[in-house]
Structure 1
Amino acid sequence: MSPARFGHALHAEWVKLRSLQSTWYTLACLFAVGLGVAAMATGRAGDEYRSASAAELLAWDPTARSLTAYLVAQLVIGVLGTLVVTSEYATGLVRTSLVVTPRRHRLLAAKVVVTTAVAVVAGQVLMFATFLLGQALLAAQDVPHAELGGPGVLSAVVGGGLYLAAIALFAIGLGTILRATAGAITTLVGVVFLVPALAGLFPAWFQGLLDFWPTQGAAAVFATVPNPAYPHPWLNLGGMCLGVAAVLGAAFVVFERRDV
């Protein structure tokens, strides 16, 4: 892959991404929804804390509480990742992109790199913002709160940003394979919410996969209080990233072999 030509492809993808109104609307929605969920999750936590049982007090995790925004944020950032690909199929621009960049792997790689950069920055900024907002609201209610220098706190916040970036890449893979926004988003919802909810219906061999599943084992990275079911959260997150890499690999193969 020629560095100069790949640089041109990167620049073209960055121009396309920042030129789409949907990009800015989605990012605005990401922060509005994320901060709103964080405020709701921590705004009335004082009453809950003062009425909690001894077991609930031991499990009190102010960091995880302020980062629960990821539950909704992952869908919003997934929409962003999906639109990077499917918006071109919807408008027919993908044909023009392939004329300008006929090497398909180069075109898709440029989309992946640009989206990764945007998703990592957006994910990290959102996680730090929701953490700081949540802890400020907890402190105002005079209940235990966390600081970035506390045990495991920075790891949880940074890990949360990486989790969101991985979801965006997963969405790119789905968008490339399915070529339709509705189909890709529906599949994303099924993966992050429906499969974990119906986990008990799957065979025993499938249960081990949940250790690396979004909103299941991989989401353990958001916590600072150890979860006996997922004692190695970064290993769980790493397993999820390997799964995302597999989906992206399939997307490259499909994109390379089909007509458009």
Structure 2
Amino acid sequence: MSTTTAPAPVSAAATAPRGKVTQPRVLKSEWIKFRSLRSTYLSLLIGMVVMIGIAALACWAVANRWPSMPAMEKAGFDPAGRSIDGFFFAQLAVGVLGVMVVTGEYSTGMIRATLSAVPRRLPVLWAKTAVFGGVTFVVTSVTALISFFVGQAMLSSQHIQTSLSASGVPRVVFGTAIYLTLVGLFGVGLGTVVRSTPGGISSLFGALLVLPLILHALPTSWANDIGPYLPSNAGQALTTLHPDPHTLAPWTGCGVFALYVVASIIGGAIVLKRRDA
């Protein structure tokens, strides 16, 4: 007499179909990781507070000394530019966050789990870039607008304020947000190439801050020819209402800086594909 053996029960986990890895799903995963990190909120908050605080301080100082300010200085005063001066310091916070979006996973080893879930790898970089770029542009746009209105409120005591509808002002205000977003994306690209937080931050600060200082040691003719094409100088042309003769036009400068950003992200994509996690 033969006996029939009942088949072993199959767990629900084994029978459940695995979801296909798609770009929208990777995007959602990166969004969850991005908004769950304390460093995200801290870096963006520092950038916002610093930029708005400097706007208030700088414009208050101008309004306070306006009656005694030399006529030549008054003639060259740019109320829109003064109200967004804090972007120079805000870029440090945004750039560091961009680097850490990538290198933070390498430092904790979480990148191995991420790349195991997404074997093709590049969708991870595209998702990080999209999430970081979208959030940063929204936050920096709001910050630039608040900085502008806070600054103009300070300047209004001397009736030297401008309006958001004035010629060139929208480009300065929202151009600041575009510049800061590109700085952050530059950090994402460099972080992907270097895979180290100290190395990525050093590379970013070197490109944005150190290269312009080195340029001052070169002959003036060289500086005038090379300076406009450095990453920070090119990008900051977008934030200037009246560009200097030796700088690029606003949108041309933005395009040059964007090429640096694209090159860093392409370099990061190549490294991500070829090297082990």
TM-score, length-scaled by structure 1:
0.92
Find the counterpart in structure 1 of residue 113 from structure 2: 96
* CA distance 1:184–1:109, change in 2 (3 Å): same
**For residue 104 of structure 1, what is the amino acid of its counterpart?**
R
Query: Given the alignment of the two structures, is residue 212 of structure 1 paired with residue 225 of structure 2, yes or no?
Result: no
- Matched with 1:185 is 201
Does 2:64 match 1:47?
yes
Please point out which of 122, 143, 148 is paired with 1:105: 122
Which range moves more in the overlay, 193-202 or 48-57?
Answer: 48-57
2:164 aligned with 1:148? yes
CA contact (8 A) 1:46 1:143 kept: no
Q: Which residue of 1 is the match for residue 175 of structure 2?
A: 159
Residues 153-207 of structure 1, C-alpha deviation per residue, up to 9 Å, x if partnerless?
0111111110001001000011111111112112222221111112033586675
CA pair 185-53 structure 1, distance change in 2 beyond 3 A: same
The one-letter code matched in structure 2 to 1:112 is T
Matched-pair contact (CA < 8 Å) for 1:71–1:215? no
Amino acid at match of 2:94: I
Equivalent residue number for residue 125 of structure 1: 142
In 2, Cα distance between equivalents of 1:213 and 1:122: 26
Tell me, yes or no, if the aligned pair for 1:78 and 1:168 is still in contact at 8 Å. Answer: yes
Q: 1:229 to 1:120 in 2, by over 3 A?
A: same
Aligned length: 257
* More relative contact order, 1 or 2 (CA 8 Å, 6+ apart): 1
Give the AA of the match of 2:60: G
Pick aligned residue for 2:31 from 7, 14, 34: 14
Which sits farther off after the overlay, 227-236 or 25-34?
227-236
- Local SS of the residue matching 2:268: helix
| Counterparts of 1:4 and 1:58, CA distance in 2 | 59
Aligned: 1:31 with 2:48: yes
Classify 1:196/1:231 alpha carbon distance in 2 versus 1 (closer, same or farther; 3 Å): closer
Per-residue deviation, 1:108: 0.8
Alignment partners' CA distance in 1, 2:231 and 2:155:
27
1:225 and 2:242 equivalent? yes
Distance 1:11 1:198, change over 3 A: same
- How far is the alpha carbon of 1:80 from its aligned partner? 1.4
Alignment check: 8 A CA contact 1:63 1:222 kept: no
Classify 1:231/1:79 alpha carbon distance in 2 versus 1 (closer, same or farther; 3 Å): closer
Question: Does the 8 Å contact 2:96/2:201 carry over to 1?
Answer: yes
Give the partner amino acid of 1:120.
F
TM-score, with length taken from structure 2: 0.87
The percentage of aligned residue pairs carrying the same residue is: 35
**CA spacing shift, 1:49–1:213, aligned 2, 3 Å:** farther
2:263 aligned counterpart, secondary structure = helix
Displacement of 1:230 in angstroms is 2.5
How many angstroms apart in 2 are the aligned matches of 1:251 and 1:107? 11
| CA positional deviation for 1:38 | 1.2
| 2:189/2:265 contact within 8 Å kept | yes
CA distance in 2: counterparts of 1:52 and 1:224, whole angstroms: 21
The RMSD of aligned alpha carbons is 1.9
Partner residue of 1:196?
212
CA distance in 1, matches of 2:66, 2:233: 25
The answer for unaligned runs of 5 or more in structure 1 is none
